Chain A
Amino acid sequence: MSEGNGQEEMGSIRFPAEILSVVAPDLSLKRHLDLGLRPCLRKFHEFKNLTLNVKSGLSRYDGDVDGESVTDSPVLGSSVIKSGNTTVICGITGGIVEIANVSTTTTSDDHDDSMEYTSIYPVVEISRGKLNGAPTDEEMILSQQLYETLLHSKILPKKSLIIDNIALKTNDDTNNNNNNRKRYAFVLYANIQVFSREGPLFDYCYGSLVKSLQTVKLPFIHFTDEEFIINDNRKNGGNVKPEIICDSEAYNQLKINEENINWSLTFGLVNNDDGKETIILCDLEGHAEETCCKSLINVIIDKNLKMRYLNIVGGDENVIIDENIVLKTVQLAKNRVNNILN
């Protein structure tokens, strides 16, 4: 408080809130907290408004009723998340890759459980006036985090991507020996566009990725001849008709592990100078909050409101993180996830 009064004594130099948050973010934050508010004028535990849209019209099958209005878009699943001013658009596309023949047949007990699951290859693009070129650190870190989080969430079983609905367009039945045939699987790519970057981006990106994944539909495929060779475009110099063709209409819903659907939430921790009391802030927003909250808690909660992941970053030496704080944070997260997912 002494600082606050002191500033008043300085007399005529006063700033509106927007400038103060740039000049002295810590001071701006502290003054708001003293009033029981945050610089973004939300309450401490108030989340930003969140809207989810999975029928965004981006996907091939979005307008689909009985295969009637399939578009020619290559997008297999998509979603749009809006939170406050921030908009996140996620579109999932796919590719086909040849896999080793044995991978699914072995079910020995000693193999690593995580081998059963796979992830998606995400690229995050944050729109902030950067001319083309290398992605920023933030974009790279987010992409990598998304990849790993999804992998370890065990949402996407490898099995569901394996192609077994091949309709053979061959009249040669003698060669119909499964062991000799190459096997194929889908790989999934995600493109995530972020507009009006603000707040805990990882939460929004992860949310949009999971939501999109739930809408993914995999097309039926068939081969154009009996050779079953995937053309390697790079070697052949392009312009070669590929030998795997996907049906334009027929599809399967991607089978994902619904039980493991989860949601990420990031909280900021600050201390109120008076009583060394730690305050939990939901959905950090704005310059003052993003620069001053150095202590963060990231929680991932699944559909059944079980905690799956907890990460505490203690960046601020003044913030005391005790059991109560952690439990309170987890409780906040559970309530929120209950609202979002159920």
Chain B
Amino acid sequence: MTVLDIPKVAVPGQPLVPSFLTDEGDSISKFIPGQGTKLERLLVQDKNSKVPVIIATILGKVKIYERVYKEEAEAEEEEEEEEKEAEGKQDQEQEELKVRTFIISVVPKSSKNYYYQDSQDSQNLQKLKELEIDTNIEEVTSKNQEDVIINKSLSNLPQEGDIVLVKILKLTLKQAFVEIIAIENKKALDHSARTLINNDSAPPSLYSSIASTSTTILQQVDIGENFKGIIRSQDVRSTDRDRVKIIESFKPGDIVRCIVISLGDGTNYYLSTARNDLGVIFAKSHGGAGEIMYAVDWKTMICINTGEVEQRKCAKPF
């Protein structure tokens, strides 16, 4: 099969495969760029015309997944295909040819890239696991999964729909200001690790990250600080939204699991906790001075040792 010509590892800029391949036999292979790849038009050997080629954009191992459509999806996809075929230079009557569709992506080796959610029970994990498998060709059956692989660009930037871990920095009546610490299933934003100890002296910091961000207001350009976000009061929960009080939902220093709903403005991402599995996952009583508390229901947390009860919008821990 022609697929075997595709290199196993790639450096940025390396052409991997043209977007269409015809076998000697009767089938056409169509390739779609996934993570770490891009579709570009490049000159090929004959030097006359530019051909759509998928290139690697990062250093890593090349993975290929075959997309197998579900019955119902097939019809509509077929139409799409026709259009694209027409654009491409393939003039074959594709009705009679078998078209196999592959998603091609480049996965970095990433000793630095650790994945944050590695417990078995996460739904997201299923998708990731696919990437881990070492065989060169994978079958992707559900249409949904294909989206994941294609749409997520490799960057460690938060994107719409990402689940992120944030730390609450500051509260107002209408919204909570947060700092994004990590993105699930992506590289941890290790900026935090190197910048929580911002501006203090050589001995380790006495300031928490909260203190350090307050100094960033003075220091106009800070060193690799984290992306910021906002949880507006109407995004805290999905029911009874106009009666949400921010102060009864979060406290500074809490670690909260959120979903990114919008890239927001220049400075802040807009985040939401309006789901059962989203909300405070880690908090200490008395604004950080006390001990760790645990959720007893969706809006109460309790400290096991002192019996202290505080209000939070908790994430369902299971």
Contacts and interface: CB of A to CB of B under 8 A. Distances in A.
In-complex A–B contact (CB below 8 Å): yes
Contacts of A166: none
Interface residues of A, number: 49
B199 A23 contact: no
Given A19-B165, A23-B282, A24-B282, A12 B197 contact: no
Given A18-B190, A22-B182, A291-B197, A13 B317 contact: yes
A16 B185 CA distance: 11
Interface in B266-318: 281-282, 291-292, 294-295, 304-305, 315, 317-318
A14 B194 CA distance: 22
B17 to A, nearest CB: 34
A74 interface: no
Most buried by B among A136, A197, A298: A136
B318 A315 contact: no
B119 A14 contact: yes
Given A2-B304, A12-B122, A22-B193, A293 B204 contact: yes
Contacts of B118: 14, 16
Contact of A137 (B196, B201, B257): B201
Interface residues of B, number: 46
Interface in A42-98: none
A15 to B, nearest CB: 6
Contact of A22 (B119, B181, B224): B181
Interface string A109-147: 000000000000000000011110100111001100100
A296 B203 contact: yes
Interface string A161-202: 000000000000000000000000000000000000100111
B199 A138 contact: yes
Interface string B195-213: 1111111111110100000
A23 B189 CA distance: 12
Contact of A6 (B200, B224, B292): B292
Interface stretch (A100-108, A210-218, A282-290, A323-331): A282-290
Nearest to B192: A22
Contacts of A227: none
Interface in A1-30: 2-3, 6-7, 9-16, 18-19, 21-24, 27
B55 interface: no
Interface in B238-288: 255, 257, 281-282
B182 A296 contact: no
A129 B194 CA distance: 11
A292 B291 CA distance: 15
A9 B317 CA distance: 9
B167 to A, nearest CB: 8
B202 A202 contact: yes
Contacts of B208: 291
A3 B204 contact: no
Contacts of B193: 18, 21-22, 286-287
B305 to A, nearest CB: 7
Contacts of A129: 223-224
Given A128-B194, A291-B205, A10 B294 contact: yes
Nearest to A288: B193
A15 B116 CA distance: 6
B221 interface: yes
A296 B122 CA distance: 41
A266 interface: yes
A163 B300 CA distance: 75
A159 interface: no
A3 B281 contact: no
Contacts of B95: none
B281 A9 contact: no
Contacts of A12: 119, 121-122, 317-318
B315 A200 contact: no
A250 interface: no
B196 A18 contact: no
A268 interface: yes
A130 B191 CA distance: 13
A229 interface: no
Contacts of A293: 204
A294 B197 CA distance: 13
A128 B194 CA distance: 9
Contacts of B202: 138, 141-142, 145, 200-202
Interface of B: 114-116, 118-119, 121-122, 165, 167, 181-182, 188, 190, 192-206, 208, 219, 221, 223-224, 255, 257, 281-282, 291-292, 294-295, 304-305, 315, 317-318
30 contacts: A10-B317, A12-B119, A13-B315, A18-B114, A18-B190, A18-B193, A19-B114, A22-B181, A22-B193, A22-B196, A23-B181, A23-B282, A24-B255, A128-B195, A129-B223, A133-B221, A136-B219, A137-B200, A138-B202, A142-B202, A197-B194, A202-B203, A266-B203, A287-B196, A287-B197, A290-B197, A290-B205, A291-B196, A291-B197, A291-B208
9 shortest interchain CB distances as A-B pairs: A290-B204, A141-B201, A137-B199, A202-B202, A287-B193, A11-B318, A10-B317, A201-B202, A12-B121
Given A202-B202, A296-B203, 14 more contacts: A3-B292, A7-B292, A13-B257, A16-B118, A19-B116, A22-B182, A22-B193, A129-B223, A130-B223, A131-B221, A138-B200, A141-B202, A200-B202, A290-B205
